[in-house]
Structure 1
Amino acid sequence: MHSDFLVADRDSLYLLPPSVQEWLPANHLARFIVDIVAQLDLTPLRDAYAGRGCKAYDPAMLLTLLFYGYATGTFSSRKLELATYESIAVRYITGNSHPDHDTIANFRNRFLGELKPFFIQILSLAHEMNILKIGKISIDGTKIKANASKHQALSWGHACKIEKQLKEEVDSLLRQAELADQSTIPDGMSIPAELERREKRLEAIAKAKCEIERREEERYEKEKAEHVAKLAERERKAQESGKKSRGKIPKAPEPGVKDRDQVNLTDEESRIMPVSGGGFMQAYNAQASVDLDTMLMVAVHVTQHTNDKLELQPAFDELKKLPAKLGKVEEATADAGYFSEKNVELCETEEIVPYIAAGRESHNQSLADRFSEPEPLAKDADAVTTMKHRLKTKDGKAFYARRKCTVEPVFGVIKSVLGFRQFLLRGIENVTGEWNLVGIAWNLKRLNVLRQIMA
């Protein structure tokens, strides 16, 4: 072998046992996450173990493993198990131990609903590091694919059609079974097996129809209440002005299931949602409030609503759960999907200055439009008019423009760099927990960068 090369010597024995502390550089993300988890209050997790049987892996190690996995784009428990052998960083986290994928998956499923306190504790640590002080935020949502195919969605009309067909087939099979002459039964057919298969499908269809009916009833009651409220508000404004209300009278909602109403057989709590660029996807709507100065996610939640108009109040509710020391939101920006008179008034009630686009912005604006100031605002302007005027000012335009370089890049990195485009779990409760996990992972990854910048 040529003497000028360094040989990869795989046979020499270590004179001293190797130390995992020597495996990673000082500022490595894995080291940072280990240090952060060591400062979290893990008492609820540790107390959940009964102490019987074989010793369990330390919850701190498994939690760190999950956080690091989601922060580096490794979400599958099987891939995390493989990483305990192949990844130096993961071997550092696990102390050279190898929890199997069942252990990792069971830990995640068991404690997924208890991650919210850690989300808040990590934000508190960011505050103690003099990195985070909440004041200005950007709110947005992104559609994330459910662990279900849209082709597994069953509409009411199709369900009724298939149900009728299956019942006819069951009747036919039962008649064949009653015949004494078995020669009419095709070769290879097992009537009991065929009956069992159809009965299971009928049972699934019946369950799906019940869920569609429940949703329809829920939808009707909600829309009926909204219709009554609209009529009352219309009457109130007419009495205040002394004039008859203009415009069409709000149409009352119609009860009853429609043929197009549907439910997904794999994850019935997911919804068919339109996606940017056209088309539809079986998905959930994941929401995030992002601090403008640090790009940290300070509040997250998941909804089944296909649009964002109803998500401002839940976002504010999540923000209220944060400790007072983190600061109070003073200004908030959101795109046109959040615009409504009700949402603007909500911001005023919460003492938050809103910057919510009232419509889509046109591209390639002229210099006059970009740098001009609007006419002075009338003294008696309402909340919506005031906000629209604010967005036309130079400062308002500059503030709203920051949305595109804060919350949108966060979603871009999570989806395109880390590769989190689909939930692994099913059901609104589970995907909410998983979105919390994604938020924690993003914040840890971002904090590791920010602390080095500030050092």
Structure 2
Amino acid sequence: MAYRYGDRNQQFFLPSKIEDYVAKDAVVRAYDVIISCLDLTELGIEICPNKVGCPQYDPMTMLKLLVYGYSYGIRSSRKLERECNYNLSFIWLSGGLKPDHKTISEFRKKNKTALKAVLKQCAKLCIKLDLIDGNTLFVDGSKIRGSASIKNTWDKDKCERYLKRIDERIEEILGECETVDKDEIENASLVKMKEELKDKEALKAKVLKLTKELEEENNKTINTTDGDCARIKGLQGTQAGYNVQIVVDEKYGLLVNSDVVAENNDVAQFANQINQGNEVLGKLCNAACADSGYANTQELKKIDAQGIKVVVPSQRQASKKEASPFAKENFKYDKEKDSYICPEGQELEYRYTNKTENVKTYQIKDKDICQNCRHFDICTKSKQGRKITRLMDEEIKERLEKNYEEPDSKAIYKKRKEKAELPFGHIKRNLKMDSFLLRGKEGVRAEMSILATCFNIIRMISIMGVTTLIQRLTT
């Protein structure tokens, strides 16, 4: 069987025009048209073609390079510079411009606020194309590592341990210095000890400053590399990073909004994320859905009060475990007396209200009743008798749990996984997003906005095709 061999000395010519470098139905042409539809002035990017001084690179071209590069997992400014020199699609997209890595990096840093708003304009473009209808919104979150090490995360206990070690070492150094003869001032060991003493005192001042910041800002942890990131726990263990939130539309699974928060869980995010999504839509959605990680009654009722159907299972409903015979669900609540009746017919009276946790506590009046009960040790092991807590918004919680059990709610929740989890799968796997490059909330929100825009664009191309999409946007 014959073989084909390449010839490095074979002469050939590229097309005379850069416009002919890519095919008419090439994917890069769709990126070019979609980004061209964005309003840079509305984003907050300065447009001043008559500005004096050294000519700058066209902001629209720089934005196209960032979005297109991120869409293929190319996020590093040095890699983007390389693509602009060797990749024909990048050469075509930039019109032959070859910005260096410093220029690309500076553009990204200086326009964090503008880049954060790119997804909103892209979502509004999808609304105009009738790809987003805003009837049902899904919320989901995922942990992504930040540009910082977990070793640089400090809490109160760590500060106290370090201060104790530093003080002990300072005392040791001072004791060693006293043993050195006064005449041996130029002794190398003495000079070295003085330098170490200086370093330890500087480290002590730094740790004391961190301790003060933790107390003043009432934070549990602080990272010295990226002060905005938090200690997050994920499948890869504990890391310094962020909790990424997305709002997804039901129709085609396109992203309506993205956000980044420094929280280790999703408990306090539901209302905020849905409200941001509704702001982009310019209207209220009909239904809002999320998993049990968002099951916080105080958050859910904020959306429920707006007339939006809330589809979020409680932790009990999500676990699908049958309640034990003496679980709270099997105690009957007497609204008139404001008390509970246990399965054995004994009354648990109201005792006090914890306004901090927004709960009311009920307990058996006579502890001997519980201790003499045949179910003692099964129902409770407390010598004070059985105790039950009730949310101030318990009625709302019960109503929302009933809403989740409805057939149409079950149908909505069934779609949640395929709609809300697909974007994270694409962003983490296909776009190779394992950690943020920028630091601080503004930076990571800008990066997440670009990544979310990349997902929307590839979905738009999958739904409509390159040629049809370009025709719809240019006519």
TM exceeds 0.5? Answer: yes
**Quick one: which amino acid aligns to residue 202 of structure 1?**
K
Give the whole-Å Cα distance in 1 for the aligned partners of 2:59 and 2:159: 45
CA distance change for structure 1 residues 208 and 17 in 2, over 3 Å: closer, same or farther? same
257, 275, 292: which one aligns with 1:317: 275
194, 197, 216: which one aligns with 1:214: 216
CA positional deviation for 1:399: 1.2
CA positional deviation for 1:402: 0.5
CA positional deviation for 1:100: 1.0
Structure 2 match to 1:158: 158
The answer as to whether partners of 1:344 and 1:383 remain within 8 angstroms in 2 is no
Residue-by-residue CA offset, 1:33-59 (whole Å, 9 max, x unaligned): 111121221234233789243211100
CA positional deviation for 1:11: 4.8
Structure 2 match to 1:225: none
Structure 2 match to 1:265: 224
Give the whole-Å Cα distance in 2 for the aligned partners of 1:267 and 1:50: 38
**Quick one: which amino acid aligns to residue 203 of structure 2?**
R
Give the whole-Å Cα distance in 2 for the aligned partners of 1:182 and 1:50: 66
Structure 2 match to 1:254: none
SS in 1 for 2:318: coil
Give the whole-Å Cα distance in 1 for the aligned partners of 2:214 and 2:399: 42
Query: What does 1:43-442 correspond to in 2, within 5 Å?
Result: 43=41, 44-47=44-47, 51-167=51-167, 169-170=169-170, 175=177, 179-182=182-185, 185-186=188-189, 190=192, 193-216=195-218, 261-276=220-235, 279-322=237-280, 324=282, 328-359=284-315, 361=318, 382-442=395-455
The answer as to whether partners of 2:25 and 2:467 remain within 8 angstroms in 1 is no
Mark the runs of 5 or more structure 1 residues left unpaired by the alignment: 220-260, 366-380
CA positional deviation for 1:164: 4.1
Residue-by-residue CA offset, 1:359-399 (whole Å, 9 max, x unaligned): 2635899xxxxxxxxxxxxxxx9543333233323332221
Give the whole-Å Cα distance in 2 for the aligned partners of 1:271 and 1:337: 18
**Quick one: which amino acid aligns to residue 40 of structure 2?**
L
Mark the runs of 5 or more structure 2 residues left unpaired by the alignment: 323-393, 469-475
Give the whole-Å Cα distance in 2 for the aligned partners of 1:362 and 1:169: 52
Give the whole-Å Cα distance in 1 for the aligned partners of 2:12 and 2:291: 61
Give the whole-Å Cα distance in 2 for the aligned partners of 1:302 and 1:413: 18
Structure 2 match to 1:33: 31
CA positional deviation for 1:351: 1.8
Structure 1 match to 2:389: none
Give the whole-Å Cα distance in 2 for the aligned partners of 1:133 and 1:148: 39
Give the whole-Å Cα distance in 1 for the aligned partners of 2:50 and 2:181: 56
Structure 2 match to 1:253: none
CA positional deviation for 1:18: 2.9
User: TM-score under structure 2 normalisation?
Assistant: 0.74
**Quick one: which amino acid aligns to residue 30 of structure 1?**
V
Give the whole-Å Cα distance in 1 for the aligned partners of 2:83 and 2:56: 20
CA distance change for structure 1 residues 321 and 344 in 2, over 3 Å: closer, same or farther? closer
CA distance change for structure 1 residues 276 and 389 in 2, over 3 Å: closer, same or farther? farther
The answer as to whether partners of 2:426 and 2:455 remain within 8 angstroms in 1 is no
Structure with the greater alpha carbon radius of gyration: 2
CA positional deviation for 1:283: 1.5
Structure 2 match to 1:246: none
Give the whole-Å Cα distance in 1 for the aligned partners of 2:448 and 2:401: 33
Give the whole-Å Cα distance in 1 for the aligned partners of 2:207 and 2:145: 24
Structure 2 match to 1:237: none
SS in 1 for 2:437: coil
Give the whole-Å Cα distance in 2 for the aligned partners of 1:192 and 1:53: 52
CA distance change for structure 1 residues 350 and 453 in 2, over 3 Å: closer, same or farther? farther
SS in 2 for 1:85: helix
Give the whole-Å Cα distance in 1 for the aligned partners of 2:12 and 2:416: 56
CA distance change for structure 1 residues 103 and 49 in 2, over 3 Å: closer, same or farther? farther
CA positional deviation for 1:419: 1.3
Residue-by-residue CA offset, 1:280-332 (whole Å, 9 max, x unaligned): 221211111001111111011111121112112221331243253xx531111
CA distance change for structure 1 residues 387 and 394 in 2, over 3 Å: closer, same or farther? same
Give the whole-Å Cα distance in 2 for the aligned partners of 1:52 and 1:198: 51
Residue-by-residue CA offset, 1:121-150 (whole Å, 9 max, x unaligned): 212221222322211111011111111111
Give the aligned length.
391
**Quick one: which amino acid aligns to residue 433 of structure 1?**
A
Give the whole-Å Cα distance in 1 for the aligned partners of 2:57 and 2:195: 45
User: TM-score under structure 1 normalisation?
Assistant: 0.77
Higher share in strand = 2
Give the whole-Å Cα distance in 1 for the aligned partners of 2:9 and 2:55: 34
The answer as to whether partners of 2:118 and 2:449 remain within 8 angstroms in 1 is no
The answer as to whether partners of 2:292 and 2:318 remain within 8 angstroms in 1 is no
22, 25, 28: which one aligns with 1:24: 22
